[in-house]
Chains A and B, each alone.
Chain A
Amino acid sequence: MRRMPHDDHDHPHALLPPEPALRVKALETILTRKGLIDPAALDELIDTYENRIGPKNGARVVARAWTDPEFKAALLADATPVVADLGYYGRQGEHMVVVENTPEQHNMVVCTLCSCYPWPLLGIPPGWYKSDAYRARAVREPRKVLADFGVTLPKGTSVRVWDSTAEVRYLVLPMRPDGTEGLSEDELAELVTRDSMIGTGLAGGPS
């Protein structure tokens, strides 16, 4: 019979992790014993995704595109090698495609398959990106979803939704906010939120 984690605060023994955590530990143990994985590599991966890869990478790319027309042209033409040059490399072999917001068209990214996402540029997706609600509604009623995020677009702006896959992951190049002409690239990067690069926010807006 399975013993359940107890609720008292006097633990005579180590706190029992939740059941799925034990299942993961079991897989790790077996694969390590068979020499199929390197436990140190797992720690390294977790550290990378928790501390070194995140939306700041994407923000740097966007700020650069706002200030360097040649870079922007190259990025929109074929983003994968351009961001690889900056050290943002798709470890799962995916291609990254950058789609540009304009006054005429706002872009929004979803993955209806599971949660494909440009990890090297944005890190691990937030919970809502992985939810059924977002995955279904982003395609069906994108303007309502945008409203939930506090984004209201001018009537003349169309919305295009891009469905990421395991092979192709999209990043939105948001519009540069007005009145930012004097800012440096680093200062501009501060205005670029994660949501603005998914298309559920605008740069310079609430983060």
Chain B
Amino acid sequence: MSDCVTHSAPEPVFAEPWHAQVFALTVHLNETGRFAWPDWAERFSATLKRHGLSRELDGGDDYFYAWLETLEAVLDEDGGALRGEVSPVKDAWEEAYLTTPHGAPVSLGR
């Protein structure tokens, strides 16, 4: 369990910006009353369990992948962001990054 013996190294609160963003998005949606936290924890736990069947999760990127997958499923079910809506917007962001000059702020056309 090498993960547990390397704990003395200083670590950032969030290893990646998107970890922070998906965390904050979920907490904000809970605070605005979109779902109760225990319900969220139950869903998230089920996703972790499913992912953990095929490999051992290390609590880093894989943890937040499971988190994101859960949030996408919850929002698809409650209509907040349907899968059919998400895909083109994601593609639009990708296109925006690839067509924005390096160093300039990236934004969607509309």
> Residues of A with Cβ closer than 8 Å to B?
2-3, 11-18, 20-31, 34, 36-38, 41-43, 45-46, 49-50, 54, 91-94, 113-116, 123-124, 126-134, 137, 145, 148-150, 165-167, 195, 200, 206-207
> Residues of B with Cβ closer than 8 Å to A?
1, 3-8, 11, 13-18, 20-25, 27-32, 34, 37-38, 40-42, 44-45, 48, 52, 56-60, 63-65, 68, 71-72, 75, 80-81, 85-87, 89-90, 93-94, 97-104, 106, 108
| A130 near B59: Cβ-Cβ < 8 Å | yes
Q: Which residues of A contact B100 (CB under 8 A)?
A: 13-14
Q: Which residues of A contact B68 (CB under 8 A)?
A: 20, 23-24
Most-contacted residue by chain A among B30, B93, B100 (CB, 10 A): B93
Q: Which residues of B contact A34 (CB under 8 A)?
A: 80
Shortest CB–CB separation between residue B43 and chain A, in angstroms? 9
| B59 near A129: Cβ-Cβ < 8 Å | yes
Most-contacted residue by chain B among A20, A24, A29, A50 (CB, 10 A): A24
| B94 near A54: Cβ-Cβ < 8 Å | no
Task: Name the 4 nearest CB pairs between A and B, nearest first.
Answer: A130-B59, A131-B59, A166-B41, A21-B18
Known contacts A31-B80, A37-B29: does B93 contact A134 (CB below 8 Å)? no
| B34 near A36: Cβ-Cβ < 8 Å | yes
| A113 near B41: Cβ-Cβ < 8 Å | yes
| B45 near A27: Cβ-Cβ < 8 Å | no
| A124 near B23: Cβ-Cβ < 8 Å | yes
Shortest CB–CB separation between residue A114 and chain B, in angstroms? 5
| B7 near A37: Cβ-Cβ < 8 Å | no
Known contacts A20-B18, A36-B80, A45-B24: does B13 contact A133 (CB below 8 Å)? no
